[in-house]
Amino acid sequence: MTVVQNPVLPGCYPDPSICRVGEFFYLVTSTFEYLPGLPIMRSTDLVHWEQIGAAVTDQIDYSDVPSSGALYAPTIRHHDGVFYVVCTFVDPTDDARGGNFLVTATDPAGPWSDPVWLDVGGIDPSIFFDDDGRAWMHGTRLVEKDPEWFHQTEVWIREYSLTEQKLVGPEHVVWNGAVKGAVWAEGPHLYKKDGTYYLVAAEGGTEFHHAVSVASADSVTGPYTGNKGNPILTHRHLGRGSDVVGVGHADLIEAADGSWWAVCLGMRTYGGYHYNLGRECFLVPVVWEDGWPVLAPGLGRVPEQVEVPFAADGPLGVVQGTTSGVVAPGDPRWCAVRALPDEVADADGDRWLLPVRPEPLTGTGVPAFLGVRQQHRDLDVTVQVRAELPEGEEVGIAVRQSENDHVRLGLTRGRHGAWTASVVHRRKGADEALGIVELDLPDGAEVGLRLRARGQDYAFEVVRTAAEGQADALAIAVADGRTLDSVATGGFLGLWVGVYATSEGRATQSQATVGPLTYEPR
């Protein structure tokens, strides 16, 4: 018996979907504008997870997609030796771009296929394979004609031809949600148990009123009847002071021993109603009573700890936020914005050689930015940078929510060779200088730039090493983290912490030497 602490994937791992093939469970989550996209996690026991690949690498053009765009709400399934991931690509600035797509692989570690685009609108596609081998695609969309309430949605089901790789046959609209007036009946998943079909869907919007509901039918195309106990899991009745809010978007799985489980998202609040770590992945036990799934039986809420009888002992995975120290190139936690990490920088031992780009962190292009998810409320992140860039170019450390909301500590050479370290808080698209200091640095000197997060206080420091080897920390400024989460800024993301380099729009051939970067929970 192993007890696992929730969330099983801390940090921004939203919209989890899961399947099992033999002894292995496979899980995928949303990634929005970050790459690699749709990380594939593997586990033998639902407790110990490792990232083995990603379903989207270079198959889709991310250019100029704004933050909280791109990849939404994937589903992973397996059938007849093939893994399937279906997902939505969203460009908030251009509704005609993107849509719903399918990628496949025989090895979940990759490579994954080019996308097959589906001729259907809406979001959150899922795929179900029936006992007879037929495949059924389903998803959600806004009701366009005479909706009964604002943001009323409908769940559709339609057969998918595996040979023709397209939707075929008639479409069936089967669900509008369990609660009249509730918005966004989304994230639908189909299952079959003991001859009955079950439709599980999220409801209420992926924020405070989020919930999980279920309906059943004798035929895959319905009609579906809702459970009288809907919603079968939510935290909205606990109020905004609950330690976990926004619970929803569940996917169910049966283990080899016949037990049932669900993964879902939720947000841990701190410093008021704020959740800087984003929407995280939680594990919930499931039992079946009277022909219906009961999530978190006897408790009715996401448990802080989960007992998994078949789980092994041993350390948790790197992506589970249990390691401390250097995050070397090749670590699966690294992400870049609208590009792969190795397209943005080159590995050099435990450092990155980061070519300076004209694109600033404030744009929607590809900035020279490499980051990792913030997975802990209290942490120190320190990166060594070399004072070697020409005048007007900047290298630094940043806490990123989006191009419009982030905080950065930048090292810059000014006129006459003088170096400065400055903290800038970008909030709703406007920059505010929080602090600046001059530094007496010889060219080529290495300087430590540090973020010290303590709850909602994000302190930025310069760490200098004296000749006798002693380091001193020079505090520059403290930013208010309550202005950085998605409650304050909008969007769907948690925070990433990483390094950047920019020439602020000017052509350049410079290269910044950054690293090692250390991530140390406190």
Q: What distances in angstroms separate CA 110 from CA 135, 195, 223, one per listed residue?
A: 22, 34, 38
Measured CA to CA, the distance from residue 240 to residue 237 in angstroms comes to: 9
The answer to whether the beta carbons of residues 335 and 371 sit under 8 Å apart is yes
Please indicate whether residue 50 is annotated as part of the active site: no
**Residue from 33, 154, 186, 203 carrying the catalytic annotation:** 186
User: Which tokens sit at 153?
Assistant: 């949605």
Q: Cα torsion for 410, 415, 417, 422, to the nearest 10°?
A: -20
Please indicate whether residue 124 is annotated as part of the active site: no
Residues 6+ apart with CB under 8 A from 347: 329, 330, 353
Neighbours of 485 (CB within 10 A): 26
- β-pair type (292-295, 82-90): unpaired
Measured CA to CA, the distance from residue 519 to residue 225 in angstroms comes to: 49
**Residue from 15, 45, 394, 461 carrying the catalytic annotation:** 15
Measured CA to CA, the distance from residue 451 to residue 398 in angstroms comes to: 8
User: Which tokens sit at 238?
Assistant: 């606990």
Written as one letter, the residue type at 130 is D
Q: What distances in angstroms separate CA 46 from CA 91, 317, 485, one per listed residue?
A: 33, 12, 28
User: Which tokens sit at 54?
Assistant: 């990603």
Residue closest to 493 by CA, chosen among 278, 335, 207: 278
CA angle 120, 123, 125 (to 5 degrees): 75
User: Which tokens sit at 1?
Assistant: 């018996």
**Coil/strand/helix, residue 416:** helix
- Three-state DSSP string of 156-185: EEEEEECCCCEEEEEEEEEECCCCCCCCCC
- The residues carrying an active-site annotation are 15, 186
